[in-house]
Amino acid sequence: MQISEHTRIAVIGSGTMGAGIAQLAASAGHPVQLYDISPAATARGLESIARSLQGRVDKGRLTPEAYQATLGRLHAADQLTDLADADIVIEAAAEKLEVKQQLFRALAEICAPQTLLTTNTSSISVTAIASGIAHPGRIAGLHFFNPAPVMKLVEVVKGLDSDSQTIESLCQLAGRWGKTAVRCQSTPGFIVNRVARPYYAEAWRALEEQVAPAAVIDAALRDGARFPMGPLELTDLIGQDVNFAVTCSVFNAFWQERRFLPSLVQQELVLAGKWGRKSQQGVYRWPRQHDELPVVRALPQEAAASLQRQGGPGMWLNGMARLTAHLSQSDLVADVPFLELDEVLVMATNGESAQQLARRYNRPVVVLDLADDYVNTPLVVMAAAATNRPDQTAKAIHFFQQQDKQVLLVADYPGLLAWRTVAMLVNEALDAVQKGVASADDIDVAMRLGVNYPHGPLAWGESLGWQRVLTVLENLQKHYGEERYRPSSLLRERALMEKHYEQ
Ligand code: 3HC
């Protein structure tokens, strides 16, 4: 199919995603029909589009003429049969297989055989949706990310019967709409909703284990590791109901694979109707108040210590070296980055607790969480061994405060907040590569553009060091005795290769 502005688009479902997609299509110049089960729901969808476009006018991003022209291209469809002339249908209705199958069966009768029938499903099998429908070659997944007008990615999902021309036409459509398309197979969660599961799961676990309040967990990932939003505030944006449903769907589709286990805390929010921004209450109350983070207040000069040595590999050390200048390196703790402040050993977490490390080295230990850039990070998250004296932990806190960093001291939690999350993201991305979900490049592009991660997880794993990622996961697996942290076999292979080339 040749895509142009004359290509007629129909969107089914006028919720957050449906309305966002219809807005995108109309902004790209297409005639658009919006359909929902009740005309009142369709009207609400059109109103929310008008509000969103008005916001663009108010910001001076859209002229009043363009606003009128865009709204003029949007039409409510009262019945499904009104979609008979559509060239491309994008379904963004309820995330239930029966609902989608029923819709696709009806659409196959109503629309011409060449009409492309697509689904914005987050995690339901495209193959299952297309099953038993006439001309299944024109059925595929077209998965957008919230907020659809803003996020740059579209996953074009190939079901078992999707034609390659269908996939090419949809990639062309995404390009016309200013999006980057990645191709992937119809596997549970596709790329982003599979690889991103640990981003949410590790945050729920930290909340369940009472490691830190929600705002601290979010700050560690957002301000420390430089994700665009913390995991818990992001679930409030996505909707607790939607995010929980995706997790359950991926968990069940993988035959109850334990690493995708849904969270009981999140289930409670869903059951209580606390769905996030759209219901003004989720993990947080919305509109959100500014959270005062419990950062450690500035310590006096008495806490100062002298820097004895530093060591360790890679990115961390480069950042630290720029902070600390001209210190001799040492192989005291082999491949884990560290600093010595008098007798205190300050180390990047390796997936063990500070207390375990204090016992091994028989000295006070402070462990640091992952920061994307230790020179520029505004926030350093750390944990101290329980056997440290307060003045010993204070030496590490003071050191970073002197570099104009805010310091958050959290419970002594193996792998801390960001490091264990990133290790799990890297691991999941490798698993997806190994299972042929998509190419390695497309997986990295998908995570950078679909959820705006600061790095693709594969590039991130490489720069952190595969062996370090493996060590963190192995230590977490030992700590919990759980299958959840099992390293992917591809990670083991890469760590071996890395060692090989180091020699
Ligand atoms: N709707 C429309 N436009 C929005 C918006 C929304 N909800 N939120 C922000 N924007 C627009 C703003 O108007 C602004 O436009 P402008 O540049 O023309 O002024 C632009 O986006 C940037 O917004 P902000 O200035 O508020 O900038 P931020 O830097 O805070 O970015 C963000 C906002 C893009 C939402 C960023 O926080 C982010 O990337 N968050 C992560 C979002 C994410 O991961 N989404 C995917 C969720 S998973 C999913 O959808 C899959 C599904 O299957 C569940």
Question: What HEC string does 279-322 produce?
Answer: HCECCCECCCCCCCCCCCCCCCHHHCCCEEEEECCHHHHHHHHH
Q: Are residue 150 and residue 30 in the same domain, yes or no?
A: yes
- Residue 33 has phi, psi (to 5 degrees) of -110, 140
Q: Sign of dihedral through CA atoms 308, 312, 316, 321? A: positive
Q: β-strands 338-341, 307-311: how paired?
A: antiparallel
Site of tokens 């939690």: 413
Q: For residues 56 and 163, state if they share a domain.
A: yes
Predicted confidence at residue 319, as pLDDT, reads 54
Same domain, 130 and 207: no
Domain CATH for 265: 1.10.1040.50
Q: Which of 345, 393, 383 is nearest to 365 (CA)?
A: 345
Which tokens hold the place of 444? 């990295």
Q: Is the dihedral of CA 447, 452, 458, 461 positive or negative?
A: negative
Residue 384 DSSP SS3 = strand
Ligand 1 atom, smallest distance to 146 CA: 50
Instruction: Write down the pLDDT at residue 500.
Output: 59
Question: What is the distance in A from the centroid of ligand 1 to the CA of 151?
Answer: 7
Q: What is the CATH number of the domain that holds 34?
A: 3.40.50.720
Q: Which of 159, 186, 213 is the last residue of a domain?
A: 186
Instruction: Tell me if 4 is assigned to some domain.
Output: no
- 502-to-313, 328, 334 alpha-carbon distances in Å: 11, 21, 13
Query: Nearest CA to 26 among 84, 83, 67?
Result: 67
Q: Which of 26, 6, 33, 40 is nearest to 68 (CA)?
A: 26
Ligand 1: residue whose CA is nearest its atom 44: 451
Counting the structural domains of the chain, the total is: 3
Amino acid (one-letter) located at 375: V
> Is 260 within a domain?
yes
> Looking at the structure, do residues 55 and 164 belong to the same domain, yes or no?
yes
pLDDT in tens, 38-83: 999 999 999 999 999 999 999 999 999 999 999 999 999 999 999 9
Q: Are 278 and 368 in contact (CB under 8 A)?
A: no
Residue-number span of the structural domain to which 55 is assigned: 9-186
Distance linking the first and last C-alpha atoms of the chain: 54
What is the rounded distance in angstroms from the CA atom of residue 348 to the CA atom of residue 357? Answer: 11
Give yes or no: residues 282 and 427 share one domain. Answer: yes
Alpha carbons 243 and 210: distance in angstroms, whole number = 21
Structure tokens at 254: 């993988």
Q: What is the CATH number of the domain that holds 316?
A: 3.30.750.190
Taking CA atoms only, the protein residue closest to ligand 1 atom 49 is 145
27 and 117 co-located in one domain: yes
The side-by-side arrangement of strands in the sheet containing 32-35 is 74-77, 32-35, 9-12, 88-91, 116-119, 139-143, 153-158, 180-185
Please indicate, yes or no, whether residues 348 and 269 belong to a single structural domain of this protein.
Answer: no
Q: Is there a single domain that holds both residue 307 and residue 288?
A: no
Is residue 480 located within the same domain as residue 346?
Answer: no
- Are 443 and 329 members of one domain? no
Write the pLDDT tens digit of every residue in 409-468: 999 999 999 999 999 999 999 999 999 999 999 999 999 999 999 999 999 999 888 999
CB 37 near ligand 1, within 6 Å: no
Same-domain pairing of 175 and 272: no
DSSP per-residue letters across 215-281? HHHHHIIIIIS--SS-HHHHHHHH-HHHHHHHHHHHHHHTTS-GGGPPPHHHHHHHHTT--BGGGTB
The DSSP bridge pattern shows strands 365-368 and 307-311 to be unpaired
Distance from residue 145's CA to the centre of ligand 1 (Å)? 10
What per-residue confidence (pLDDT) applies to 372?
A: 81
The low-confidence residues of the chain, meaning pLDDT below 70, are 311-336, 499-503
Among 409, 442, 469, the domain-final residue is: 409
CA-closest residue to ligand 1 atom 53? 122
Q: Is the CB of 229 under 6 A from ligand 1?
A: yes
Residue 3 domain-assigned (yes or no): no
Distance from residue 144's CA to the centre of ligand 1 (Å): 13
Q: For residue 346, which phi and psi values (nearest 5 degrees)? A: -110, 115
Q: Give the model's pLDDT for residue 328.
A: 42
In sequence order, what are the residues at sequence separation of 6 or more whose Cβ sits closer than 8 angstroms to the Cβ of residue 503?
A: none
At 339 the three-state DSSP class reads strand
Helix (H/G/I), strand (E/B), else coil: 31: coil
The response to whether residue 151 sits with its C-beta less than 6 Å from ligand 1 reads: yes
Report if residue 176 sits inside a domain. yes
Mutate to test the pocket of ligand 1, among 150, 236, 244 (most ligand atoms within 8 A of CB): 150
* Whether residues 22 and 136 fall in one domain: yes
Residue 263 in any domain: the answer is yes
Q: Map tokens 């705002």 to a residue.
A: 215
For residue 461, being part of any structural domain is answered with yes
What is the phi-psi region of residue 290: left when phi exceeds 0, alpha when psi lies from -120 to 50, beta otherwise? beta
Q: Quick check: is 1 in a domain?
A: no
Provide the pLDDT for residue 323.
Answer: 52
Instruction: Please list the active-site residues.
Output: 122, 143, 155, 193
Residue 451 CB–ligand 1 contact under 6 Å: yes
Beta carbon of 228 within 6 Å of any ligand 1 atom:
yes
How much distance in Å is there from the Cα of 152 to the middle of ligand 1?
10
| Domain C-terminal end among 186, 220, 244 | 186
Q: Which helix (H) or strand (E) holds 381?
A: strand 379-384
Whether residue 123 has its Cβ less than 6 Å from ligand 1? no
Residue pair 341/399 in contact (Cβ under 8 Å)? The answer is: yes
Distance 397 CA to ligand 1 centre (A): 34
Query: Model confidence over 172-185: pLDDT tens digits?
Result: 999 999 999 999 99
